[in-house]
Amino acid sequence: MASGTQPRSALLECIRGAVLFALASIAFAHPVLAQRKVELLVDPSKAGDRIDRNLFGQFAEHLGHGVYEGIWVGPDSRIANTRGVRTDVVTALKALRVPNVRWPGGCFADEYHWRKGVGPDRAVTLNPNWGGVTEPNTFGTHEFMDFLDQIGAEAYLSVNVGSGTPQEAAEWLEYLTASQATTLAKERAANGHPAPYKIAYLGIGNESWDCGGNMTPDYYLSQLKIYTRFVRNYNPAQSGDQQMLRIAVGPGGDEPRFVEWAETVMKGWQDRKWSWDMQGLSMHNYTVVHWDKKLSSVGFAEPEYAQILKSTLEMEPLISKYSAIMDKYDPDKKIALAVDEWGTWYAPLPGSNPGFLVQQNSMRDAIVAALNLNIFARHAARVRMANIAQMINVLQAMIMTDGEKMVLTPSYYVYKLYLPFQDATFVPVTFNAGAYTNGEITLPALDAIAARDKSGKLHLEVTNVDPNQPVEVTLNGVTARSATAETLTAPKVDSVNTFDAPHLVMPKPLPVKVERGKLILKLEPKSVSVISVEQ
Ligand code: AHR
């Protein structure tokens, strides 16, 4: 027996050695198989600022099929609608609890004349900014307010400072909000709405340093004083804490001219007289790698994934920079920073009208959305409004439509996952993000925020930026009884939902282990996950 076992155990040793060698070579050749472990530490005793629900605002401009076909199909359309507004879109947006919609632009706002969009006879005008197409004005003031009513959102109107007058804007607000029997209020009633409308937010121009009139900072400041003085809200229900918040044009990047702009407007506000005021300063920032050679929204690979994420993270230093300027003139943070245009801007889809800014929305956009929402949440004391550009069929859209077909994008599902964060209280969370490297680009591999909702429940969002490696996350700092989680991921970084395959990128339940009060989850590569904890 003894003589027979010797060669067998040598053989077994040999096989074992070969297997170990093979496993080691696989691990060496495919380091992606190794699973990272990260500990998140939340500190619920240190409640932070409120994550304003307005951070989840939307932007709908008269641009391409953003309004016409995206929202408005008209009452006679064969597409199901309520008073001309498409029913499928309303149902989808209601589910997002959209807090506010910015309208009618964008660059369009500074060429918009509201009178052409009220009453039975609508003028057909032009939309020179966006493809030079005709503008039927069939979606005007009443249709917009009806749309908001259907989805349950507040109005954020941008008034025309570029080519309009203070009188035109003042009359629009009187038409919308006067409760007394003025001629304009009677006209509003005759057009179907006797009660004054609520206008929660008013933007005084748009990008007035560029498409809004190429103004100098000083010229804009004098316009701002005039518009905020004379464009009044007369709705008796909008006094005190319901007052309409007026938002001035702010910077659009980190160039010196934008710094000068922000300094001028904020200093002007600090030196203000009793006769004018504002409550917000806007900021625009798009995720674009090269403006003159935009990346494609489809069919891209990992290098373009990494480039876009690197570019999107520039939101953080930009907000810090303008917050610091605002702090100088407004240490009490009375003025909100409203990032009222942000999102990815890619090359137009082949075959589309380049003026319509049509692009696809992939898993990469979902990661972009999560990273930006987390940046806003971390700056919640100053950033109290943000509007993704744009809501439907334009740029980083929530929804895409084609005739009667509609598809919800990966970005839509991020907004859906983030619902518990609306008006929740920020809770600090610390972790070692690790690093994800592609070529010359190295990014934090992980991002996370935490917040408590009004009922006291703790919610966490964790983004695994790394497109190759899963990560095991353990939550410390709270004793959990149970937890539920959902995750959004996709087979590839460029996976998209299409009209033919609309469910490729959508949230699914994520298993959570609770071990002695600790939560343990495994996050898939390139994923956005929201975890709700019962304590
Ligand atoms: O969102 C598209 C355009 O981008 C807006 O009209 C303008 O404000 C910005 O330059």
CB atoms within 10 A of CB 292: 5
**All residues at 6 or more sequence positions from 185 whose CB lies less than 8 Å from its CB, including other chains:** 174, 175, 178, 179, 196
Confidence band (pLDDT; 50, 70, 90) for 503?
very high
Q: What pLDDT is attached to residue 349?
A: 98
CA distance 258 to 225: 19
Q: Which residues are paired to 518 by β-bridges?
A: 515
According to DSSP, the β-strands at 36-42 and 429-430 are antiparallel
The lowest-confidence range among 13-22, 171-180, 222-231 is 13-22
Phi, psi of 25 (to 5 degrees): -65, -35
CA-proximal residue: ligand 1, atom 5 (nearest): 106
Can you tell me which atom of ligand 1 is nearest the CA of 109?
Answer: 6
Q: What pLDDT is attached to residue 17?
A: 45
Measured in Å, residue 154 CA sits from the centre of ligand 1 at 21
Which candidate, 424, 466, 481, places its Cα nearest to that of 449?
A: 424
Out of 61, 111, 207, 524, pick the active-site residue: 207
CA distance 232 to 327: 28
Out of 61, 174, 341, 524, pick the active-site residue: 341
Confidence band (pLDDT; 50, 70, 90) for 5?
very low
Q: What pLDDT is attached to residue 44?
A: 87
Can you tell me which atom of ligand 1 is nearest the CA of 129?
Answer: 6
Residues 356 and 300: beta-carbon distance below 8 Å: no
Question: pTM higher than 0.85 for the full model?
Answer: yes
Measured in Å, residue 107 CA sits from the centre of ligand 1 at 6
Above 80 in pLDDT, residue 30?
no
Would you call 341 a catalytic residue per the annotation?
yes
Would you call 314 a catalytic residue per the annotation?
no
Measured in Å, residue 67 CA sits from the centre of ligand 1 at 15
Confidence band (pLDDT; 50, 70, 90) for 45?
confident
Measured in Å, residue 270 CA sits from the centre of ligand 1 at 28
Q: What pLDDT is attached to residue 318?
A: 98
Q: What pLDDT is attached to residue 47?
A: 81
CA-proximal residue: ligand 1, atom 4 (nearest): 106
CA distance 302 to 478: 36
Written as six digits, the tokens of 166 are 């203070």
Above 60 in pLDDT, residue 48?
yes
Measured in Å, residue 209 CA sits from the centre of ligand 1 at 12
Above 80 in pLDDT, residue 12?
no
Q: What pLDDT is attached to residue 34?
A: 60
According to DSSP, residue 380 is labeled T
Above 50 in pLDDT, residue 354?
yes
Residues 265 and 208: beta-carbon distance below 8 Å: no
CA atoms within 13 A of residue 434's CA, in its CB half-sphere:
20
pLDDT tens-place string over residues 286-333: 999 999 999 999 999 999 999 999 999 999 999 999 999 999 999 999
CA distance 85 to 69: 9
Confidence band (pLDDT; 50, 70, 90) for 46?
confident
Q: What is the largest CA-CA distance in the chain?
A: 113
Written as six digits, the tokens of 171 are 């009359």
Mean pLDDT of 122-143: 97
CA atoms within 13 A of residue 136's CA, in its CB half-sphere:
12
Mean pLDDT of 153-175: 98
pLDDT tens-place string over residues 60-105: 999 999 999 999 999 999 999 999 999 999 999 999 999 999 999 9
Mutate which of 130, 207, 390 for ligand 1? The one with the most ligand atoms within 8 Å of its CB, which is 207
CB atoms within 10 A of CB 427: 21
Confidence band (pLDDT; 50, 70, 90) for 23?
very low
CA-proximal residue: ligand 1, atom 3 (nearest): 106
Can you tell me which atom of ligand 1 is nearest the CA of 107?
Answer: 6
CA distance 429 to 263: 33
Above 80 in pLDDT, residue 10?
no
CA distance 91 to 204: 31
Residues 323 and 302: beta-carbon distance below 8 Å: no
Nearest-5° angle of CA 267, CA 268, CA 272? Answer: 115
Mean pLDDT of 529-533: 97
DSSP per-residue letters across 441-509: EEEESEEEEEEE-TTS-EEEEEEE--SS--EEEEEESS--SEEEEEEE--SSTT-B--SSSTTSS--EE
Confidence band (pLDDT; 50, 70, 90) for 206?
very high
CA-proximal residue: ligand 1, atom 2 (nearest): 106
Measured in Å, residue 106 CA sits from the centre of ligand 1 at 5
DSSP per-residue letters across 365-377: HHHHHHHHHHHHH
Mutate which of 58, 59, 61 for ligand 1? The one with the most ligand atoms within 8 Å of its CB, which is 61
- String of b and e for 444-458 (b: at least 16 CB within 10 Å)? bbbbbbbbbbeeeeb
Above 60 in pLDDT, residue 121?
yes
Above 90 in pLDDT, residue 8?
no
CA atoms within 13 A of residue 204's CA, in its CB half-sphere:
29
Mean pLDDT of 225-236: 98
Can you tell me which atom of ligand 1 is nearest the CA of 59?
Answer: 1
The lowest-confidence range among 27-36, 87-96, 435-444, 472-481 is 27-36
Helices (H), 238-330: 256-270, 302-312, 315-329
Above 50 in pLDDT, residue 529?
yes
CA distance 45 to 40: 15
Can you tell me which atom of ligand 1 is nearest the CA of 61?
Answer: 6
CA distance 50 to 30: 43
What is the percent of the chain with per-residue pLDDT over 90, rounded to a whole number?
91
The torsion defined by the Cα of 303, 306, 311 and 312, in degrees rounded to 10, comes to 140
253, containing H or E segment: none
Q: What pLDDT is attached to residue 517?
A: 87
CA-proximal residue: ligand 1, atom 6 (nearest): 106
Helices (H), 47-182: 87-94, 141-151, 166-177
Mutate which of 209, 341, 356, 358 for ligand 1? The one with the most ligand atoms within 8 Å of its CB, which is 341
The residue type at 268: G
pLDDT tens-place string over residues 275-288: 999 999 999 999 99
Q: Which SS3 state, helix, strand or coil, does residue 514 take?
A: strand
Nearest-5° angle of CA 118, CA 121, CA 244? Answer: 5
Q: Which SS3 state, helix, strand or coil, does residue 267 take?
A: helix
Which residue ranges have their beta carbon within 6 Å of ligand 1?
A: 61, 105-107, 206-207, 211, 341, 389-390, 395
Mutate which of 63, 101, 107, 394 for ligand 1? The one with the most ligand atoms within 8 Å of its CB, which is 107
Residues 358 and 429: beta-carbon distance below 8 Å: no
- What's the mean pLDDT when you consider all of the chain? 94
Measured in Å, residue 222 CA sits from the centre of ligand 1 at 23
Measured in Å, residue 382 CA sits from the centre of ligand 1 at 23
pLDDT tens-place string over residues 385-411: 999 999 999 999 999 999 999 999 999
Q: What pLDDT is attached to residue 3?
A: 32
